[in-house]
Amino acid sequence: MALDDPSTLVSTEWLAAHMRDPDLRIIDASWYMPAENRDPKAEYDKAHIPGARFFDIDEISDARSALPHMAPSAEKFMSRMRAMGVGDGHQVVVYDAEGVFSAPRVWWLFRLMGQGSVAVLDGGMKKWIAEGRAIEDLPPVIRDRHMMVRFQNQMVKDATQVAAAAKLGTPQIVDARSPARFAGSEPEPREGLRAGRIPGSRNVFFKNLLNDDGTMKEPAALKAAFETAGVDLDKPVITSCGSGITACILSLALERIGKSDHAVYDGSWTEWGSVSSMPIETGDV
**Strand order in 237-240's β-sheet?**
156-157, 262-265, 237-240, 172-175, 202-203
* Distance, CA of 195 to CA of 163 (rounded, Å): 17
Q: Does residue 248 carry a catalytic annotation?
A: no
Would you say the C-alpha torsion 110, 257, 10, 39 has a positive or negative sign?
positive
CB 42 within 8 A of CB 30: no
Q: Which of 26, 49, 241, 263 is catalytic?
A: 241
Element of type H or E holding 26? strand 24-28
CB 212 within 8 A of CB 126: no
Dihedral of CA atoms 227, 229, 235, 238 in degrees, nearest 10, equals -130
**Among all residues, which ones are annotated catalytic?**
241
